[in-house]
Every structure is written in structure tokens, then in C-alpha cells.
Amino acid sequence: MKSTYLQRSEYNDILHDYQNFLFDELIERIGGNKDVKKASKNHEKFIKMTLTSGEKITLDTKLKEHIILNAVVSDIDHEQEIDNSHLGEVAKSEFDVNSQFMNFLASHTGEFQQARSKGKIKIALYQALEKYLGMTNSKEELQKIILNNTWFFIDLIDSSVTKYAKTRIKKDRIEKVNENWNVPTQEFLPKNYTEKKVKKCIVTPFYTGTFQTENGFIDHYLETNKNIDWWYQNGEKNEVYFGIPYTEAIKESLSILEFPLHFIDYETYASAVPKIDGVGPHQHVVFQVSIHTMQAGGSMEHYEYLADQLELPEKLIEYMHSVTGDTGTYISWHASFEKMQNKAMATWFPKHAEYLNNMSLRMYDLEDIFKKDYMDYRFHGLSSIKKVLPVICPELNYNELDVQNGTMALDTWGRMILDSDFDEDIATTRKNLLEYCKLDTLAMVELYKKLI
């Protein structure tokens, strides 16, 4: 069987030569000297760094998090304010500190691949602090110092990565073709993998781990989808594994989606102080949904729900179930958000958990295509639907709407429902909210049509 794969380019990674850019940026910011013999003088300048707001460098090697020991609700019916002044502190474990540190680095790799680049930034930071500031702390202590001074290190890393990127020669990845690909005869699997009974996998016996998401996808999608004749669990992106060209891959991935297709989008409300029982601070509550359902023949129906009060969304769930049923594929944009809301709603309403979990398992993220397979310089390096839509479907425009993004939707609905002084026309406001959410799902429909 013919298989096509891309030979990975190192351009996507930060390499070891990045460290010199971070060194230079550090010395410039503190007004220091790159002579390692001046490390003690550099250290003095470093600890004197301050923000205009007065925030200063701290060399504290403790990293703690606050927990509420005792909370008092003064008047839940009116103020709904919690007196959480009784706080305690607990030290974070070394594991938690390292996880927080690596996540921090991963979020500041710029245009480079996160997983393979954050380690290079870590090494550069350690070397900079040791070599040019003369710091003799352990690696664990250096992590805590960096996390306690993120205001300084975020700018340091972001600026040095940006300067480094400008020096890299961008090379296209080379497409390779394997004319006689076959299923690998031997795979090395972790010890905790066990045999799983499946019917459509072309590798027998098939072994899998204990990953709930992976096994759910196999059981509820790969094995049951009538459009899938066989499947194979791919591995790393190289010649050993099966692949098809991107243009074909897009159509192939969309062609196996099981009809009806439910293009779905949620709008949510969140607040620092929860306004209803069972909801945590800043936790999202779905108040609106838009669904465009496409049948195999191309016919389309639109369904929408907009809550008229702030409450846990059981009515919304019941409405969705009544219009979508239990079959088909759910298509969203940035699906992790919808899945997160489904998980929360399943916790609030266990009797609807089967429907919500099934929806998440059957969900296809349309944004992934524009992250990996479909690139256009006019997206400006982003995969937001607000960037993609004007390029591919210029006839659809968010700028003409009164509500133009999710933040405006949250604010508008929140004021309409909760603000006793809200003086705008409620019917018009509801219409504006419905039009915005409707465009989100219509946009996905039209992009899907362009792709197939």
C-alpha cells in the first residue's frame, strides 16, 4: 500500500544555540556584564530589578498554594459574597512544582514546537542563572525562584525566543513516499498493555493500555462506525507508520464522519464568586447552544436554545438530546471546550451522563485541520475560526454582528439576566445573542463544505 509521510524539519524546534540569545537578553535587561567573573555583580543587579508597580525579585525557594480553611457566607440570597479570609498555606510537592514549571515553559515557546523546545529553554535558564548570576541553588530551587518571579522571566523568555526565531532558516518539510508500506510486524509496547478484543483492527492481536479516552474512542467510534472498514493505530510520524498526503488526508478524515453531522457550539457564563449552588469560582455554565444538523443527503436543520435565567443547564441538555438523538458525529471548533462542559454537566446531572459522554466520544474537532493540514499566511499563524472564516468564506462576517465574540456574549447575557438596571431591549438582545451563536455553527458548516 502507498504511504506518504513528512520528514520532520528541525526548524520547528528550539535548538541548543538558543541559549546565547537568552544569555544576551538577561545581561541586557539587568544591565550586567557577560564576563562570568562579574557574576556576583550581575547577581546584585538582578535582585534589584523591580516593576513600576513596585514588584521586586524574590529569591524565595518556597512555593506554596493557599487553601480555604474556613469560609463564611454572609448572605447567599443577596450579596453571595464569601469571606474566605481564613486561608492556610501548604507547600507544593516537588512533582507539582516540576509540572507547573514545565507547563510554564511550554506556554512560552513562541512559534516553536512545545514538547521538544521547552527542555532547551529550561537548560538555558539553568545555565544563565548559574553561569552569569553565580547562583548555586539546586535545580528544584531554581524552578521555584523562576516561578516566584514570572513577571521577569516571561518577558525574558518571550523576547529571547522572538529574537532567536528571526535567525532561523525556515525550511519546508520534505514529503517522502513509501510505495510498498505494510503493517509493522513488530511493535514494542509498555508492560501494562493488555490484549483487547476488536473486530476491525488490521493488527491481531491488538493491545492497548488503560486509557479511558482511547478505549472509548475504539469501542464507540472505530468499531461501530459503518463507514470504517478497518482501522490501524498509528505511531510516530515516520516511514514505519501509514500516512496520506494532507489534501487527501483532509477529505479522508471528513469522509468517515458518521451522519447526521451535528455542528455544535456552546456559550457559557462564569463569575469569580459563584452565583448558583454546585458551581465553583470561574467555572463555566452553559447558557446557550446552537446546532446545525446535516443529513447524509445534504439537508440541514438549525436548532438553538438560549436560557432565560441563570441555572444549571438541565433544560438545555434535554433540548439537545431531543433534537440530536444518540447517533451521528458532533463537530465543534476547539472541541476540548465543549468536552469540558459536557464533563461538568454529566457531573451535575448523572442521569444525562451517558448522552453527554457519548457526545464527547463522537466529537470531531474541525479546528485540528487548520492546525495541521490546511495553512494559509492570511491566518497569521492562528487557527481561530475568526481568522480562518474571512479567508475561506469571506461572505460570512462577525464584524456585522452586535455580539461578535464569546466574551461579549458572556457579558451581554450576564447583564441581561442579572443586572436589575439593564435598560436595553430584551427581545433585541436575545436576537443578537442567537445570531452570534448561530453564525459559529453556520461557519463550521460552510468551512466543512469547502473542505470536502
Q: Are residues 441 and 391 in the same domain?
A: yes
- Taking the C-alpha atoms of residue 39 and residue 36, their distance in angstroms, rounded to an integer, is 5
Residue numbers of the domain that contains 197: 182-243
Q: Are residues 346 and 378 in the same domain?
A: yes
- Taking the C-alpha atoms of residue 131 and residue 376, their distance in angstroms, rounded to an integer, is 42
Q: Are residues 145 and 282 in the same domain?
A: no
Q: Are residues 204 and 335 in the same domain?
A: no
The pLDDT of residue 73:
52
Q: Which residues contact 306 (CB under 8 A, 6 or more apart)?
A: 287, 288, 413, 430, 433, 434, 437
**Burial of 288 by CB count in 10 Å (0-12 exposed, 13-18 middle, 19+ buried)?**
buried
Q: Are residues 133 and 235 in the same domain?
A: no
Mark out the alpha helices in 310-425 (DSSP H runs).
314-324, 335-348, 353-361, 367-372, 385-392, 406-418
Nearest by Cα to 312 from 272, 282, 355, 349: 349
Q: Is residue 403 part of a domain?
A: yes
The pLDDT of residue 192:
75
Radius of gyration of the chain (CA): 26
Final residue before a domain boundary, out of 140, 165, 190: 165
pLDDT tens digits, one per residue of 122-159: 999 999 999 999 999 999 999 999 999 998 999 999 99
How does DSSP classify residue 132?
T
CA dihedral 332, 337, 339, 340 (to 10 degrees): -170
Q: Is residue 4 part of a domain?
A: no
Q: Is residue 314 part of a domain?
A: yes
Q: Is residue 33 part of a domain?
A: yes
Q: Is residue 114 part of a domain?
A: yes
Q: Are residues 279 and 412 in the same domain?
A: yes
Number of domains into which the chain is organized: 3
The arithmetic mean of pLDDT across residues 208-223, rounded, is: 82
Q: What is the CATH number of the domain that holds 295?
A: 3.30.420.10
Residue for cell digits 510520524?
Answer: 237
Kindly report which listed range (1-10, 27-36, 345-354) carries the lowest average pLDDT score.
Answer: 1-10
pTM given for the model: 0.53
Q: Are residues 213 and 312 in the same domain?
A: no
Final residue before a domain boundary, out of 117, 138, 165: 165
Q: Are residues 346 and 268 in the same domain?
A: yes
CB of 445 closer than 8 Å to CB of 263: yes
- Taking the C-alpha atoms of residue 415 and residue 422, their distance in angstroms, rounded to an integer, is 6
The pLDDT of residue 79:
46
The pLDDT of residue 66:
55
Q: Are residues 188 and 237 in the same domain?
A: yes
CB of 385 closer than 8 Å to CB of 417: no
Q: Are residues 304 and 370 in the same domain?
A: yes
Q: Are residues 36 and 124 in the same domain?
A: yes
Q: Are residues 322 and 427 in the same domain?
A: yes
pLDDT tens digits, one per residue of 299-342: 999 999 999 999 999 999 999 999 999 999 999 999 999 999 99
